[in-house]
Structure 1
Amino acid sequence: MATSLGSNTYNRQNWEDSDFPILCQTCLGENPYIRMTKEKFGKECKICARPFTVFRWCPGVRMRFKKTEVCQTCSKMKNVCQTCLLDLEYGLPIQVRDTGLSVKDEVPRSDVNKEYYTQNMEREIANSDGTRPVGLLGKAPSSSEMLLKLARTTPYYKRNRPHICSFWVKGECKRGEECPYRHEKPTDPDDPLADQNIKDRFYGINDPVASKLLMRASSMPRLDIPEDKSITTLYIGGLGEDVTDSELRSHFYQFGEIRTITIVQRQQCAFIQFATRQAAETAAEKSFNKLIINGRRLNVKWGRSQAARGKEKDGVTESGIRLEPVPGLPGALPPPPMSDEDASTNYFNLAPSSSPAVMNLGLPPPPGVAMPPPPGFGPPMFHTMDAMAPPMPPPMIMRPPGQVHYPSQDPQRMGAHASRHGGP
């Protein structure tokens, strides 16, 4: 038999009877097999004061029993969990969610207006397909950058811990490890988080948890765009072992042409180089603090320039080692091809030096040592040494600078279209 149901005993046709609660993953627990007790019209909703079906269960081992606090109509109006009253999509308080989506609460406070508003919402919920929220929340934008940055990607099971043992605080608990409550120091009563009200959380006012999250959002770091325009590489950290090359490519290819994707499994990171700086800036802006792949929030940063990594000056590091330009990278395109005269000059410079044990491979001779003439123009000694030297390979002709080849320009690549790149 139900307990005292207050002033709503006269209108039993609006009492709620449901078969399963509306819960978030955190409140439901990590165990897929749980036992629930169902009490029909067991309590009054703490928001609309109408009797509803109460569910009670234990989400896991060494966790406290939980129960539904509000009816399903109030839960669907705000798209929140019936127990914790946090948003089902982002896992955030209602005040934070409404601030990010610029939604203003319209639920009336008086009993008569609240009852009328609830009946209208029930009618709208019955006519909807159940895939989208109702009311102003259903007309709001689908996402917000601030909500994507603050959203929780994994369940927070720590919220299901037992309450603090009051006997242990007084030093009178004799159960020891068998005590089902926590033996911890209670929260400071002056802490704002110690004073939480379920109605304030539902209406989105005076919520200390929401205030803390909004303050965190205002102080979040921002990704500054580097001044070096040659940087087109993004660093992706925190990959784990599940994120693959194809998943990264499918996400970042929407922002522009990708030159290379390099995954370093040992460091669990990746480097994605774009063809243009504009594509890299767009990818950084759309992915910073918002990139979630396989349930993991990935860290997005700008790659460092060659000068920042090696502190180079005109291609020479502080240790005096000259770094060769890498073909295909911005600002480091291959040199133009050598002419016939330059090739012949380079070939003659590969002649043996005056010392039979040292080969002068295109380097200037040491001080005081004369450069030997080409083969056939000197004493017979050079002819003998020239015969002993291995045959020199022909000069390497490098690709002339021009348009860099990208994967999508390959006509043999699946899905490539000639018209996309200026063809017929």
Structure 2
Amino acid sequence: MSSDTFSICSKCLGNDKHIKMIKQVDGEECRQCTRPFTIYRWGNRTASTSLQKTIICLTCARARNCCQSCLLDINYGIPTDLRDTALKMAGLEPLSQAPNPTNREVKAIIADKLEKKFKTEDTNRTKEILSKLAEKLNMTSTTTESENKSLSDAPIDVGKLAKKLPFSNSLDSTKYSTMTSFFIFGFPSDLPRTMISKLASEYGKLKSSDIDYESRCGYITFEDKQSANSFAESINENGLNTNKTTAGLVIIENNPMRVCFGKQRPLPRTTNDKKKLNGVVTKVMKQLTEKDKKSSSQGTPPTQYKALQDDYEE
């Protein structure tokens, strides 16, 4: 839903007719242009047990015609890079109006200029292409869900599942010589949905991604072993991992999470089961933090581990 104050898609807002929003003026820096912007937080029972929030400013969202929370196209719910590529292939202008410089000052200047412009051409031809693209993506998703319906509907014993999940695996590529899939867990339920895939995609093309934000765990799979090994090595050698026999620690936007090689297994489908698994994840994260502290011969920076402890105190 676009307005004069925010641009948030209907999926992120949820199905509730009455939504209570918390407004915080200049609450954070925009992740795109680095300027302070007004944050909106709200509850969405269908998407997360925690509050969702806007992560980029209204200017950057309008410049990219995307949702301020999930960063997908505001009208069609598809990735903006895929959308713009499809339009270019059709000989039409992409909807994104802003370049992506790395310099903070340049980003802010460009955003100031865009704030005065907000004119996006949305021709009938553009609408037709994007509608077909969104429909195709939705059909693919529906087909996948239909193929897995019997698996999704089957009852899952969360206790037994938790014992089978690869919480105790590591990132040792020699030990998992043929595996290209990773088990990821411990991230916050309000982490932007593109962050994990974006991190992994820097090391190679992903074959699949199955992330459950309510359970706070999931899987990603690379298309080839070389990419998987590069991803594993980058986390193992990022300076945060003192214990190479456990799942590796990685931090995205100040949010800690764990990564290890792991064979994909079905995750819970009901809200109650997801909450149970969420509790298991919290306990494992705390246990791994304690193990890392004990295994470090030189000690870990107190501030880093204090932050991790605060996140997983029950």
Q: How would you bin the TM-score normalised by the shorter chain?
A: 0.3 to 0.5
TM-score relative to the length of structure 1: 0.31
Rg bigger for which structure? 1
Structure that is richer in strand per residue: 2
Higher helix fraction (1 or 2): 2
